[in-house]
Amino acid sequence: MGMFIIGSMLCTGYKQNLYTTCELYFNNVITLVEKSINKDVKYLKEDLRIPQFNNGKNPDNIKIINIKINNDIFPKVNEAEQTASEYYGDLHVEKPQFPFEIYSRYTVTINNNSIISLYNDYYEFLGGAHGSTIRTSYTVDKEAEKLLNLKELFTSDYDYKSIINDEIKKQIAAEPDKYFESADNFKGIGDSQNFYIRGKNLIIYYQQYEIAPYVAGIPEFNIPLEKFGSDYKYANSKI
């Protein structure tokens, strides 16, 4: 086992398991731990960096957040391992020239005194013309040590959906050829809409193929937080 410093990260490496954890220290109680998995097995190459939360006032709250993150990622990993083994096993190939691949990286998009927001992109190539990416995102209230849904960013009974829907329609109308449907046919966001906070913007995003073709990647819509005024509950957060 070895320990090493990368910037503000304290990392611990375990050679025998190709497993590393890196702890990112912020100016608050909650810390973010990076769990790294690097495996180059017979049929599948795995390169994963998975966010995990640590410390905090209530270990049960932190555990709930981490369970959510793990449940978003590890079932996909298990499925990829099984798919690779079955596919190449049926072909009786010792070691393929181009093995299947899974790759996961996360990005912290805001970290202030009130919230931390990040997204994780999980990419897999399991044959076919190209791979695919699934994005998941997590916004945590640091004081409550709780994952927030979109509604919880705003004061109660506030019609945040109308503002978001209007902004998305404007952005679709500005680039109509990029999407499957026109702005007029946009049905609006749902209660469990994917989002994260980046700087002074709320980012609404959709998965590949959900509202646009593969070439569009993961469609994002930037909505300035100032449009919500004081109804955005974290408007007075300090960096």
**Tens-digit pLDDT profile for residues 169-221:** 999 999 999 999 999 999 999 999 999 999 999 999 999 999 999 999 999 99
Mean pLDDT in residue range 10-19: 48
**Closest CA relative to residue 53, chosen from 99, 6, 111:** 111
Residues 132 and 169 in one domain: no
This prediction has a pTM of: 0.85
164-202 core/surface letters (b: 16 or more CB in 10 A; e: else): bbebbbebbeeeeeebeeebeebeebeeeebbbbbeebb
Report the Cα–Cα distance between both ends of the chain, in Å, rounded.
35
Residues 112 and 203 in one domain: no
Residues 167 and 235 in one domain: yes
Expressed as residue numbers, the domain containing 214 is 149-239
Burial (CB count within 10 angstroms: exposed 0-12, middle 13-18, buried 19+), residue 130: exposed
* Digit-coded pLDDT (tens) for 114-130: 999 999 999 999 988 88
- Say if strands 2-6 and 44-55 run parallel, antiparallel, or are unpaired: unpaired
Please state the domain count of the chain: 2
Q: What is the C-alpha separation between 221 and 194, in angstroms, rounded?
A: 11
* Digit-coded pLDDT (tens) for 32-76: 999 999 998 778 999 999 999 999 999 999 999 999 999 999 999
Query: How many other CB atoms sit within 10 Å of the CB of residue 67?
Result: 10
Residues 10 and 126 in one domain: yes
pLDDT of residue 168: 98
Q: Please give the share of the chain, as a percent, with pLDDT higher than 90.
A: 74
Residues 116 and 8 in one domain: yes
pLDDT at residue 93 tops 70: no
Residues 4 and 46 in one domain: yes
